[in-house]
Amino acid sequence: MKRPLIAATMMLAPLSAQAQEVGEIVSFVSCPVYRDTDNGRKSGCWLVRDGESGKQWDVSQSPHKPNWDYAVFVEGRVADQGDEFCGAPVLEPVRTSRLLDHRCPRHMLPPEGYPGRVFIAPDRYLTSLANPPEFEGPFGPRTFYAFFEFDRDFLVYQYSDFIVQQAAYWIEAAQPRRLVVTGYAATDPIEVSGMELAESPEIAQSRAEVVVLALSRLLPGMEIETRWETGSQPIDVPDADTIPGQSQRRVEIAVEF
């Protein structure tokens, strides 16, 4: 996964659907379109049109991709890439969250000469049990952050599952006294494409509990306290990939010695 070097000040960029400068945030809700490119496994394209600007974007690089039955909440940064892969300018990094209360007609485009992208395993690829990472001390207090799709508590493959797995390996090596796991939900409403979006308060607790269950299996016997908070605010940490909304939908794993 590419991680553009975007300054922390970009976190303050306006959530304007009109923003089209490289690095600026674009945010909207719309129905996804699948372009059936075939460049090997997982090479299909996802395109979503911003109804306000009329511009269509390539959002295929989201770690959690759309379902063509439902609208998606798109949050992404304009990338310095052309439309040569899928036929639309690229948002990357980008997140697409499925809104299961908003159905869409299925729509699929043919490749129309676009190749799609050859799948490349992302950096956040689960470590096999045969080759566990090795961490060496000294160890001290540290916080890990796992991130979620909008209003969901699922640890997405090759993204948040990797973060939790790597955290567990580090914790196993560090042998801390205990963990405090806090789930957050972005419950403050925001307006996007004429819709008011807010996560449900309950998702903060369920996110925390999912991560606690995962950690309890990865680290049997570890003392873990579970907490949750609503009204989550953006934070600037690397694995949120500079997407402010993504950083709000998180679980923090605080390691205490």
Partner 1 sequence: MKRVGQPRHLRFAKALPVIAAAGALAAASAYASGGESAADERWWSPGEGRVFPEVLDYENEHGTLRTLLVGGPLDTEGHPFFEPISSNGRACVTCHQPADGMSLSAATARERWDATNGDDPLFAAYDGSNCPTLPQGERASHSLLLDRGLIRIQRQWPPAPRLGEEVVPDFTIEVVRDPNGCNSGAEYGPENGWISVYRRPRPIGNMKYLLAVGFNFDPKQGLALPRDPETGDYLSGNLMSDNRAFTLKEQMDDAGLTHLEMLRELTDDERDAIKAFEMSLFAAQQTGRGGAVDDGGAQGGPAVLRDAEPGELGSIGFPVWGEFAAWEEISEEDRARLTPEQVEFRQSVARGARVFRDRTFLVSDAAGVTTQMGFGNPFRVACKMCHNMTRMGNDVAPGQVDLGTTTLPFADHFGDLPLFRITCQNDPHPYYGREILTYDPGFALSTGRCADVGKITLQSMRGLAARAPYFSNGSAADLRAVVDYYERRYNIGYTEQEKQDLVNLMSVL
Contacting positions for partner 1 (CB under 8 A): 34, 36-38, 40-44, 46, 63-69, 100, 108, 121, 126-130, 152, 154-159, 161, 164-165, 168, 210, 213-215, 217-218, 220
Nearer to partner 1 by Cβ, of 20 and 39: the residue is 39
> Strands 190-192 and 25-30, how do they pair?
unpaired
Contacts (Cβ under 8 Å, ≥6 apart) of 102: 29, 70, 71
Pairwise CA distance, residues 24 & 193, whole Å: 17
Buried/exposed 192-215: b ≥16 CB within 10 Å, e otherwise:
bbeeebebeeebbbbbbbbbbebb
Give yes or no for a contact between 164 and 146, defined as CB atoms under 8 angstroms apart.
Answer: yes
Which helix or strand (DSSP H or E) is residue 180 part of? strand 178-184
Of residues 23 and 122, the one with the C-beta less far from partner 1: 122
Q: Are 147 and 210 in contact (CB under 8 A)?
A: no
Closest CB to partner 1 among 28 and 159? 159
Least distance between partner 1 and beta carbon 37 (Å): 8
Residue placing its CB nearer to partner 1 in the complex, 20 or 158: 158
What are the backbone angles phi and psi of residue 169, rounded to the nearest 5°? -60, -40
Q: How far is the CB of 205 from partner 1 (least distance, A)?
A: 16
Q: What is the residue-wise DSSP string for 187-226?
A: -S-EEETTEEE---THHHHHHHHHHHHHHHHHSTT--EEE
How near is the Cβ of 162 to partner 1 at its closest, in Å? 8
What is the nearest approach in angstroms of partner 1 to the Cβ of residue 222? 12
Residue nearer to partner 1 on the CB measure, 181 or 215: 215
For residue 77, the minimal CB distance to partner 1 (Å) is: 19
Minimum Å gap between C-beta 24 and partner 1 is 25
Which one, 90 or 156, has the nearer CB to partner 1? 156
